[in-house]
Amino acid sequence: MLNSTGELEFSNEEDPEIISQLTSLALSDGKSSAGAPEKTGYPDSVYVMAANIFQGIRIEKSAQKVLIKYGNEPLRSFSESEDQSFQRLSYELAFSALKYQDILETILIDSCIFPSTTIPDHLSSLIIVMLYDFQDRKFQTRVLSDNEESISEVQEVENLLNSFKIKLAAALARCRIKHDALSIYHILPETVRKQELRASTLPLYAWINTCKISPEEVYNNLKRRGYNKVKSVLHIDDKVFAVDQHCYDVLIFPSHLKNDLINIDLFKDYKLIFQDKSRSLAVHSVKALLNMDDDILMVNTGSWHTVAHMSILTNNNTSKVFVCGVQSQAKDPDLKTLFTKMGCKNIEILHETFINIESKDHRLQKVKVILLLPRCSGLGVSNPVEFILNEHEDTEFLKDHSQGGISVDKLHILAQQQYEQLTHAMKFTKAQAVVYCTCSVCPEENEAVVKKALEFQDLGNKVQPYRLSPPVLPLCSLKEIQLSTDKFFRMEPSEITNGCFLSVLTRERDPSETVSVKDVLARAAAKGLLDGIELGKSSKREKKKKKSKISLTKAATSDNGIQMKIAEFLNRETKASANLSETVTKPSLPQKNTAQVGASSQTRKHKLAPHPAVPTFMKNTCPSRPRERQTHFIRPRPEDRMVALKPIEIILPPVFMPFSSPQGIRSRMPTQHLYCHWVAPKPLVPTCLPTPSLSRKGEKPKDDTRSSLLRPPRRWL
């Protein structure tokens, strides 16, 4: 029971006019518009929960500067609620009291509440949060509902504050004059004031659960509820929504629609889920790096909604999402129930912390991408209360934001933890990419950590090293392009989004592990993705890796029936031409070269008619390019070379057949046509076929080919 010696003394001194003048100097910020609804206070349970939150995040002072003592025991709550709106009110009240902790303590001392009253230490936190709300209501009496459950500690503190109403208002006015501020709001650090200004306009982001509903169905559902689709929700007071430019499944709503949105079925049935945009950017970056059967490892996820979003994006793949750091197995049933409601089926929970997981863990052999969301200062977040509720961050997060900054020592501790986690992620040899994302704007937590990890990465393994890769997200403005020139993706805090930093590290591709098109098609066929599609056989076998084992194999012939018929036809006609030439003339072996020259000269002077044994089909057919050099061939007879000039006259200029001919046919094809080039100053001998001068092993030509071609025939020999 509170014992106030001054309660009766000040109870009769209330002057409405004085109170009205003093309360005009409101503590909160003086920004409330005339049309804003009048505040009537909170339920008793909200005060109790806010006091317990404040007890855990309050700023502790040295013994010399302690003005008010706080107890260590939390207050007992009789109606603990899991409702998110209840928690939001409690966190907002505790965070507001934390920002003004020094001012509120000074007012309590100046108004003689301390030490003139005997107040138990465990109620000090409750007095602080209720005093903030009391001045925010301009010291007006709280309106109580009939069915509200009252708490005795709250009623006692409220009676005490009402009895010191005038003294509290006077102390508030003196504090404003002392700091020469237009309002007490301006006593706050500039960074905190800018943060509050951004938070007042920061829109809401929610991603669509495509396992339950399609984007078109969401649009239609919202339109039936009076929401209109626009390009931007900024400075719009109506019921509107927009689609995010970076993430196709993320919708944007004005902040003033929060209470209306949380009560519609789309959010109650987990078809739309509130999430900070930085987390959606992270999971979409991972999705862009995945193949069909790649697994993902998520580290320091914070909110389970981030895990669910990653699962929904990979629902059509065979990927698994591993989540580490769930130390309490008692949470498993609740998490599984939540994931079942959201339609997630590919999530596996690991109870080890990330640092304690071995890089060669057999469960993670298919993990190709690691998503690292390390604990950070969060100095890029404009609305820390919403971020804590959505991302389940530690309440210490609020303490840093209440002062508009973070100490250098704490920043170095966070940066070291981030560096250790990133280097550990780079040790997973099977992983091919690491996505590093923070909600901070401090370079010490972002660029410095990534560059240091790349510089000192372990190069002793046989895997390829990591390198910095460009952002995989679309750059939607000139400012984003300028901020991403060094391959980092950044978003500065603004009135439309929180600050964000994102980096993608990928391994350099090992040339020895390059996957061929044939391997990709074979893998797809094995999974049944190419039903009804026939894959053509390769015409060559791939070369082996070592040069010492390189060997040329026989080219596979085509299964086309037309090509086989053409090959048989050519073979048959070549034999027929050879037999016909034997019956016409048979020169002696010493006169072989002379006869060849004479035939060549006659071909140049007179255009001979095609031999009747050669079909007209040869006019559109040319010998094919051999795909590999023969290891052995049949030495053609002199008679074959004598007759070979006749078909070549028709197929000038020489080209190559588009189909593969059998090896046996090529060895029997006449070779004298290699000299039938009309204007070339040099003997144009294709490198793919042997020349007559080399047809006999070790035999040298008897005279110059060029001179023999230009010499007139000597018929008298």
Q: What is the mean pLDDT of the segment spanning 51-62?
A: 89
What are the tens digits of pLDDT across the range 335-361? 888 899 999 989 999 988 899 998 888
Give tens-digit pLDDT for 225-239.
Answer: 999 999 999 878 899
| 576 part of a folded domain | no
Phi-psi region of 528 (alpha: psi -120 to 50; beta: other; left: phi over 0): left
pLDDT, position 288: 93
Clarify whether residues 372 and 496 are in a common domain: yes
The alpha carbon dihedral of 258, 262, 263, 267 has a sign of positive
**Residue 589 clears pLDDT 90, i.e. is over it:** no
**pLDDT confidence tier of residue 632, bands split at 50, 70 and 90:** very low
Task: Give the containing element (helix H, strand E) for 503.
Answer: strand 500-507
So what's the pLDDT on residue 565? 66
Question: What tens digit of pLDDT does each residue of 81-119 get?
Answer: 556 778 889 999 999 999 999 999 999 999 988 877 778
- Kind and range of the H or E element at 296? strand 295-299
Q: Would the pTM count as exceeding 0.85?
A: no
Which residue in this structure is represented by tokens 């194999």?
553
pLDDT on residue 402: 84
The answer to whether residue 577 scores a pLDDT higher than 70 is: no
As given in the structure block, the two tokens for residue 657 are 């057949």
Whether residue 163 is found in the same domain as residue 280: no
For 108-154, how does the pLDDT look when each residue is reduced to its tens digit (9 = 90+)?
Answer: 999 988 877 778 888 999 999 999 999 988 899 888 877 778 899 99
Domain around 331: 276-507
Q: Which of 507, 537, 562 is a domain's end point? A: 507
Measured CA to CA in angstroms, residue 85 lies from 46, 89, 199, 259 at distances of 10, 6, 17, 8
Which pLDDT does position 475 carry in this prediction?
85
- What CA–CA distance (Å, rounded) separates 393 from 387? 7
Q: Considering only residues 268 and 63, tell me which one the structure prediction assigns the higher pLDDT.
A: 268
Q: What is the mean pLDDT of residues 366-384?
A: 91
In a domain, 663, yes or no: no
Give catalytic residue positions.
Answer: 439
Residue 366's nearest CA partner among 323, 325, 324, 321 is 321
Tell me: cis bond preceding 16? Omega within 30 of 0 counts: no
483 close to 260: Cβ distance less than 8 angstroms: no
Residues 181 and 307 in one domain: no
Do 313 and 450 have their domain in common? Answer: yes
Query: Are 175 and 285 contained in the same domain?
Result: no
pLDDT at residue 599 in the model: 41
- At 652 the pLDDT is 56
What is the pLDDT at residue 603? 42
Is the domain of 177 the same as that of 303?
no
CATH number for the domain spanning 308: value is 3.40.50.150
- Considering 180-194, 513-527, 588-602, 611-625, the range whose residues carry the highest mean pLDDT is 180-194
Q: What pLDDT was estimated at residue 258? A: 87
Q: Which two tokens stand for residue 391?
A: 């991302």
CA 530 to each of CA 283, 328, 514, 520: distance values in angstroms, whole numbers, following the listed order: 29, 44, 22, 11
Residue 661: what pLDDT?
A: 45
Average pLDDT score, the chain = 75
Domain membership of residue 627 (yes or no) is: no
Phi then psi for 599, rounded to 5 degrees? Answer: -65, -35
Encode burial over 370-380: b for 16+ CB neighbours within 10 A, e otherwise: bbbbbbbbbbb
Does some domain include residue 489?
yes
Total tally of structural domains belonging to the chain: 2
**pLDDT value of residue 130:** 96
Average pLDDT over residues 44-59: 92
Any domain includes 539: no
Confidence of residue 378 (pLDDT cuts 50, 70, 90): confident
Choose the most confident range, by mean pLDDT, from 322-326, 346-350, 570-574: 346-350
Region of poorest pLDDT, from 117-126, 299-308, 421-430, 589-598: 589-598
Bond before 690 cis per omega within 30 degrees: no
* 320 and 447 within one domain: yes
The predicted structure's pLDDT at residue 553: 40
Q: What are the structure tokens assigned to 566, written together?
A: 């053409």
In the predicted model, is pLDDT for residue 305 greater than 80? Answer: yes
Hey, CA dihedral for 169, 170, 173, 174, is it positive or negative? negative
**Domain final residue pick, 507, 542, 569:** 507
Token pair, residue 676, equals 């039938």
Does residue 587 sit within a domain? Answer: no
Confidence category of residue 692, pLDDT binned at 50, 70, 90: very low
Task: Kindly tell me if the per-residue pLDDT of 27 is higher than 90.
Answer: no
Same domain for 324 and 424?
yes
> How many other CB atoms are found less than 10 A from the CB of residue 428?
21
Cα–Cα distance, 255 to 463 (Å, whole number): 48
Torsion over CA: 375, 376, 380, 381 (sign): positive
Min mean pLDDT across 211-220, 284-293, 527-536, 623-632 is at 623-632
Look at residue 519 in the predicted model and tell me its pLDDT.
59
**Pick from 191-195, 226-230, 368-372, 540-544: least confident:** 540-544
DSSP for 528-562, please give it.
Answer: TTTTT-PPPPPSSPPPPSSGGG--PPPPPPP--HH
pLDDT reading at 58 higher than 80: yes
What is residue 626's predicted lDDT score, i.e. its pLDDT? 43
Tell me what pLDDT residue 320 has: 94
Q: 3-class DSSP state for residue 573?
A: helix
Q: Are residues 298 and 414 in the same domain?
A: yes
Task: Supply the pLDDT for residue 578.
Answer: 60
Compute the residue count for the chain. Answer: 717
Nearest partner of 661 among 574, 549, 577, judged by Cα: 574
User: What share of the chain has pLDDT > 90, as a percent?
Assistant: 36
Of the pLDDT bands very low, low, confident and very high (cuts 50, 70, 90), residue 633 is very low
Contacts by 162-166, CB closer than 8 A, 24 or more apart: 163/4, 163/6, 163/7, 163/10, 163/11, 164/6, 164/10, 164/111, 164/112, 164/113, 165/10, 165/14, 165/19, 165/139, 166/10, 166/13, 166/14, 166/15, 166/18, 166/19, 166/22
Indicate whether 358 and 473 sit together in one domain: yes
Q: Are residues 426 and 290 in the same domain?
A: yes
Least confident of 112-116, 323-327, 597-601, 653-657: 597-601
**pLDDT recorded at residue 512:** 56
Please report which helix (H) or strand (E) contains residue 481, including its range: helix 478-483
Q: What separation in angstroms does the CA of 684 have from each of 58, 573, 687?
A: 93, 26, 9
Predicted pLDDT at 235: 79
State whether 285 and 173 are in the same domain. no
Higher pLDDT, 267 or 185: 267
Q: Is 335 helix (H, G, I), strand (E, B) or coil?
A: helix
Higher pLDDT, 524 or 388: 388
- Asked whether residue 242 is assigned to any structural domain, the reply reads no
Q: What is the pLDDT of residues 156-214, one digit of tens each?
A: 999 999 999 999 999 999 998 988 888 778 888 888 888 888 888 899 999 999 999 99
End of a domain among 478, 507, 536?
507
Q: What pLDDT score was predicted for residue 706?
A: 47
Residue 116 lies in a domain: yes
